[in-house]
Structure 1
Amino acid sequence: MKNLFSNIRLPWLIFTLLVFIALVKLGFWQSDRAIEKETRLKNITQLSQTTAMSLTEIQNFPLKEINDYPIKLKGEFEQDILFLLDNQTNEGQLGYRVYQVFTDHNQSVLVNLGWVMGSINRAEIPDIKPIKGAFEINGHIRLMDKGILLMEQNFTEVSWPLRVQQVELDKFSTVIKKNLLPFIVYVNEEETLGYKKNWQPIVMPPEKHQAYAFQWFSLALAWLILMFWASIKFNRTCDEENPINEKANNKIKDLDV
C-alpha cells in the first residue's frame, strides 16, 4: 500500500507544480505587458512635445525606434488606390478603417484616414471616393503588429476599394506595384482630412494588465492551497483505511495458522 500511495503522490506533486508554474508565468507575462504599456504611454507623451519630422528625416532612425513619432508628409495621394480594413468597430457599430497610399518625394507610404461605418449587408462596401490632390499631412507613425489570420489573403482579383482582413504591407506593395515603406502614418485627430479618427495607441491600459496579473498570481496561490488541502484529506483517508487492511490481513494469517 505504501508503494501505491507513493506512486500516486509523485504524479500529483508534478501536476501541482506544473499548473502552479504556468499560472505564475501568466502573471509575470501580464506584469511585463503592463510595464511595456506604461513605457509606451510615457514615450507618446514625450514625443507629442517634439517637432514633427519629414519622411526623409525619419528614415535616418532605426525602424524599431520610430513607433509613435510625429511626422509631416508633403505630397499627393495615389488616385484610385483605396484599402478598407474590415471588422473595425466604433461605439458598437461595425465598419472599416480607410487606408490610402500617399507619395512624398517619390516614396510611398500607407496613410490611415480614419473609420467609416459599414453595412449590415456584407456584400455592400461603403461608397468612398479616394482623396485626390496635393496635401500637407500631420500624423504619427505606427509599426504594425501581425494579427492572426484564419485564412490567407488572396489578391489575385483586385477591385477598388479593396476590402482586406489585415494590413500586409508587403502584399499591398505587390498589388499596387510600388514599394510601401514598412510603417503606416495615422492622421492626427485635429486634421480635417479623412474620416472619424478613433484610433487609440493603447487599447488595453496598464492598469488592466496589472489586474490580470493579480488574478493569475491569486489563482496560483489558491491552487497551492487547494492541492495542499486535498493532499491532507487524501493522507487521512489512507490512514483510516490502513488499520482496516491490517486487521483483514491479520485475520487471514490466523486462518492460515
Structure 2
Amino acid sequence: MVRSINWRVTAFTVVFFIVFVHLGFWQLDREDEKVALLEANAEAMARPPVGLAELEARDIGDLQNAGSRVVLYGRWENRWVLLDNRILKGRAGYEVLQLFRDATIEQPVLINRGYVPAGPHRLAAVDILFDASVTPGLVSIIGIPRFSREAERSWLGSETMSNGVSLIQLADAEQIGQVLSEPLYPVLIRLDEKDPMALPRHWPVTVMAPEMHRGYAVQWFLMAFAIVVMWGVFTWQQWRPQDEPRASS
C-alpha cells in the first residue's frame, strides 16, 4: 500500500515549531536586555548623584534605564497626595507623594517616599508619619528620577479622603499640580531607602529576573522539540507496515 505524508499535520507541526523556536530566542533576547539593564543600574548607583540642573541636561530615557541618582537640597513641605492601588506583601495601600522645595528651582518636586497601608475603608485617613518639627530646616535628600509614561493614559481625576488628602490614580506631575493648585516639577523622584523619611517599598529594577526568561526559553524549546517528536510518532504509525489479514482455511 502506498502511503503519503499527512500534509495538514506536517504544516501544523512546521508552523508551531517555528513559533516555539522564535519565542525561545525572544526570551533569550529579553534575558540579555535584563542583564544589561541590571549592570547599567549597578554602575549608575555607584556614581555620585547629580543635581536637578544636570538632570535636565541629560537624556531622560538613559537616566531612567540606568537608574542614575539625583540629589536635592531644600525642605519638606507639609503637603502630599496618595497614589492609590499599591500592594506590598499582599496588603492594599498607597504610596505617599510628598512635596519637596528644592533650593535650586522654583517648582516643588514630588517625592515618592514609599508605601503606607490602607485604613479600614478606602477613603479613611492614614498615618503618613511626618513631623515637620523633625526636619525644620534645609536637608539633603537623594533619589532616583522616575519618568513615568502614565501621563499618556487617561486622567481619572482625584478623590478626597476623610482628612482632606487627595487620592489619585496616576503619578502624573502635571495633573497632580492641578489638584494641588500649583505647577510641579515634571519628574517624580523615588526617595532613597536609607533616607530617614523613607517608607517601606518594593521597587525592583526589573519585574522579572533574567533567570526567569532563560527558564521560559527552555520551555519554548522543549515544546518545539516535543511537537517534532509527536509528528515523528504520528508519521511512523502511518507508515509502518500493517499485518496482512490471514486468509481463513
Query: Does 2:128 align with 1:128?
Result: yes
Partner of 1:38: 35
The Cα offsets for residues 114-140 of structure 1, whole Å up to 9 and x where unpaired, read as 122234644545343777665421112
Give the aligned residue type for 2:97: Y
Corresponding residue for residue 252 of structure 1 = none
Amino acid at match of 2:74: G
The answer (yes or no) to whether the contact 1:77–1:131 under 8 Å persists in 2 is no
Determine if contact 2:80/2:96 at 8 Å carries over to the other structure. no
SS in 2 for 1:116: strand
Work out the CA distance in 2 between the residues paired with 1:191 and 1:205. Answer: 26
Larger proportion of helix: 1
Tell me the secondary structure at the aligned position of residue 203 of structure 2: coil
Q: Secondary structure in 1 aligned to 2:87? A: strand
Segments of structure 2 that go 5 or more residues without pairing to the other structure are none
Query: What's 1:221 paired with?
Result: 225
User: Within 5 A, what are the aligned runs for 1:54-133?
Assistant: 54-67=51-64, 68-77=67-76, 79-90=78-89, 92-104=90-102, 105-119=105-119, 121-122=121-122, 124=124, 126-128=126-128
- For structure 1, the residue ranges without an aligned partner over 5 or more in a row are 245-257
CA 1:86 to 1:35, structure 2 compared with 1: closer, same or farther past 3 Å? same
Q: Which amino acid aligns with 2:227?
A: W
Q: Do residues 207 (structure 1) and 207 (structure 2) align?
A: no
What is the number of residues matched between the two proteins?
Answer: 234
Is this contact kept in 2: 1:71–1:139, CA < 8 A? yes
Query: SS at the partner of 1:53?
Result: coil
Question: How far is 1:58 from its partner?
Answer: 0.8
Cα distance in 2, alignment partners of residues 204 and 194 from structure 1: 25
The answer as to whether partners of 1:85 and 1:167 remain within 8 angstroms in 2 is no
CA RMSD of aligned residues (A): 3.4
Structure 1 pair 188/21, CA: closer, same or farther in 2 (3 Å)? same
Comparing 114-123 with 45-54, which one deviates more in the overlay?
Answer: 114-123
- SS of residue paired to 1:59: helix
Q: Within the alignment, does 1:188 sit opposite 2:192 as a pair?
A: yes
**Is residue 81–residue 168 contact of structure 2 (8 Å, CA) maintained in 1?**
no
Say if 1:118 and 1:126, in contact at 8 Å, map to a contact too: yes
Q: Distance in 1 between matches of 2:28 and 2:22?
A: 10
Structure 2 contact 27–213 (Cα < 8 Å) conserved = yes
Distance apart, 1:82 and its partner CA: 0.8
- Cα distance in 1 for partners of 2:217, 2:99 equals 40
Residue number in structure 2 paired with 1:28: 25
Q: How far 1:208 sits from its partner (Å)?
A: 1.7
How far apart are 1:49 and its partner, in Å?
1.9
The one-letter code sitting in structure 1 at the alignment partner of 2:234 is A
Contact 2:95 2:116 in 1 (8 A): yes
What CA deviation, in whole Å up to 9, does each residue of 1:136-195 have, x standing for no partner? 21112233365xx9xx65216555534445434554355445555554311111111131
Is this contact kept in 2: 1:142–1:184, CA < 8 A? yes
In the alignment, the residues of structure 2 paired with residue 218 and residue 135 of structure 1 have an alpha-carbon distance, to the nearest angstrom, of 56
Which structure has the larger Rg?
Answer: 1
Instruction: Identify if the C-alpha distance between structure 1 residues 174 and 21 changes in structure 2 by more than 3 Å, giving closer, same or farther.
Output: farther
Alignment of 1:164-175 (within 5 A): 164-169=168-173, 171-175=175-179
> Structure 1 CA distance, aligned partners of 2:234 and 2:43?
53
Return the TM-score normalized by structure 1: 0.74
**1:48 equivalent among 25, 45, 48:** 45
